[in-house]
Amino acid sequence: MQTAASSLQNPAVVDLALKLYTRLSDLRIPYCGNRRLQLPCIAFPVTGLRRRNASQDQESSFTYRETSFTYDVKTVGLEDLVITTENKLRLGLRTFLLIRPWNRHDLGLPVIADDEKSVDDWSQPESPSDELLGSDPGEDESVDLESQWRALKLIVRLGQPFGAFLLAQQQGGEYKRVASDHNIIARVKDRASVSNMMDVRTLEIL
């Protein structure tokens, strides 16, 4: 992972990676209430849906059923996908998204339970001068480099294949998951194109 992250150390990429890291770290955990799920995610808008005909379905690697429809799917930022579903999909009548549900573990931060916090974590500085003088400039630089490295490692993780959900927007603005016959495994086209991964949202899903 270190080699892959090093290849992304372009100033513009680092800047976007830091912004994306901050956006994702500010997200709340998923919440379910009133029969709705509030799901934090990275969204990839669907720009193309082309239905295959029956002969193409039978020639594909998917098991064809008369009640299934297979689509070639294009999105912003992801490699093209093939999705088979029992639903008839038509772009233009509604908005479709492919999403990566957010997982805070991708931030690379250690998980510390509340009961593991020691008394020292809540103690005051030993003297007022320690607080007023601030930290050593060298320490600030070290923290900055560590933040950059974490952000770049995040981009490397986001560049790996992931299980995606296809969502269709409803009239009220909420979204509903479109069931597929197979797991949707998606992958970003170019992990250096961080701008295509900046669409961070919390969606309301029925």
Query: For each of the chain's 206 residues, which pLDDT tens digit applies?
Result: 555 656 676 888 899 999 999 999 999 889 998 889 999 999 999 999 999 986 555 555 455 556 899 999 999 999 999 999 999 999 887 899 999 999 888 887 665 554 444 444 433 434 434 443 444 555 566 658 889 999 999 999 999 999 999 999 999 899 999 999 999 999 999 988 899 999 999 999 99
How many C-beta atoms surround the C-beta of residue 203 within 10 A? 20
* Rounded alpha-carbon distances, angstroms, from residue 121 to 22, 99, 142: 24, 37, 21
Please state the domain extents for the chain. Answer: 2-46+94-110+142-205
* Rounded alpha-carbon distances, angstroms, from residue 15 to 31, 103, 167: 30, 22, 30
* Rounded alpha-carbon distances, angstroms, from residue 133 to 91, 113, 120, 198: 59, 31, 20, 37
Give the C-alpha separation, 84 to 87, whole Å: 9
